[in-house]
Amino acid sequence: MLCCHGMLTLHRLANVLYPPACPRCDRSLPRADAALCRSCEAAMPRPGRPLCLSCGIGLSGAFDARLVCARCRARPPAFAGARAPWLYLGAGRQAIRLLKYRHRRRLGRWLAETMAHRAGEDLPVAQIDLVVPVPLHWLTRRLRGANHAAELSARVASALHKPHDALALRRRRWTPSQTRQRTWQERWRNVRESFQADPRRVQGQGILLVDDVLTTGATAQACAQALRAAGSREVFVLTAARTPLQWRTR
Ligand SMILES: [Zn+2]
Ligand SMILES: [Zn+2]
């Protein structure tokens, strides 16, 4: 059996013989602890500013002085603000998929740290009392072998020095994967009323809801409604990436 020192030497030797490669493009990494190489990191697209203050979508077209998109003005979402450091496109989409389906832990750590940084810049962090992941159904968790949303949210919570509670919100029933539902109506029908929050854990609390991707916003809306119904004071949403599409709340 090797002692700690022996393991460390072996680890260093392995790094020299097999320098850690970027999980996206296989080029060598600038530092052994880097999540991606510099060019992949730079290739991950970010939402264009200004952002809608409510849902965080890039406002490239017409907008009024309040910086709220037409969709949020017509039907305000149940959450007070949603932010994501990246767009779910190109290298951004590939990085999330590496986390989701290949369980790249170092990548997860870096994504979460960047998400926490974005929350610090763009969300009222002082109003957040509790960080909560979008829950997976136990069956999905069993099939995937990991719960990346819960891993991201635990890391975000520790970076923001906030408590984390993975049991505050649960899935009441199994729903088919959201990625197969194309339209907002399909997604909303799929997730509506499928979440339940525990009032003993969330009452009066400011919640930061964490997930990997925000697509149409149907899941975030359903979770925020469940949290508000259980007495949460307000809900903010933080995801690693969001689709650049317009989205709807109903
Ligand atoms: Zn790369
Ligand atoms: Zn909006």
Expressed in angstroms and rounded, the spacing between residue 43 Cα and the centre of ligand 1 is: 9
Expressed in angstroms and rounded, the spacing between residue 76 Cα and the centre of ligand 2 is: 8
Ligand nearest to the backbone CA of 24: 1
Q: Give pLDDT, residue 179.
A: 61
Ligand nearest to the backbone CA of 29: 1
- The two tokens of residue 186 are 């399909």
Q: Give pLDDT, residue 160.
A: 97
Q: Cα(58)–Cα(53) distance, rounded to whole angstroms?
A: 10
For the chain, 250 residues long, give each residue's pLDDT as a single digit of tens. Answer: 455 566 667 666 666 666 688 989 999 888 888 899 999 999 999 988 888 888 888 876 554 566 888 888 888 899 999 999 999 999 999 999 998 887 788 899 999 999 999 999 999 999 999 999 999 877 777 777 778 899 999 999 999 999 999 999 998 876 666 666 667 777 777 777 789 999 999 999 999 999 999 988 889 999 999 999 999 999 999 999 998 865 444 4
Cβ–Cβ < 8 Å for 242, 47: yes
Cβ–Cβ < 8 Å for 227, 132: yes
What are the start-end ranges of the H helices in 18-88? 38-43, 70-74
Q: Cα(174)–Cα(138) distance, rounded to whole angstroms?
A: 9
Cβ–Cβ < 8 Å for 47, 58: yes
Which residue, among 119, 133, 93, has the nearest Cα to 244 in the 3D structure? 93
Q: Give pLDDT, residue 62.
A: 53
Q: Give pLDDT, residue 249.
A: 43
Expressed in angstroms and rounded, the spacing between residue 221 Cα and the centre of ligand 2 is: 13
Expressed in angstroms and rounded, the spacing between residue 97 Cα and the centre of ligand 2 is: 25
Q: What domains appear along the chain, each with residue ranges and CATH number?
A: 1-32 (no CATH), 44-242 (3.40.50.2020)
Expressed in angstroms and rounded, the spacing between residue 89 Cα and the centre of ligand 1 is: 16
Q: What is the dihedral of CA 135, 137, 143, 148, to 10 degrees?
A: 0
- The two tokens of residue 55 are 């849902």
Ligand nearest to the backbone CA of 42: 1
Q: Tell how far CA 58 is from the center of its chain.
A: 17
Q: Which phi-psi region, left, alpha or beta, contains residue 26 (left: φ > 0; alpha: ψ -120 to 50)?
A: left
Q: Give pLDDT, residue 50.
A: 83
- The two tokens of residue 75 are 């039907």
Dihedral of alpha carbons 231, 237, 238, 243, sign: positive
Q: What is the reported pTM? A: 0.86
Q: Which phi-psi region, left, alpha or beta, contains residue 193 (left: φ > 0; alpha: ψ -120 to 50)?
A: left
Instruction: Give the DSSP letter of residue 182.
Output: -
- The two tokens of residue 79 are 């959450």
Q: Give pLDDT, residue 250.
A: 41
Q: Give pLDDT, residue 177.
A: 64
- Is residue 208 classed as helix, strand or coil in its secondary structure? strand
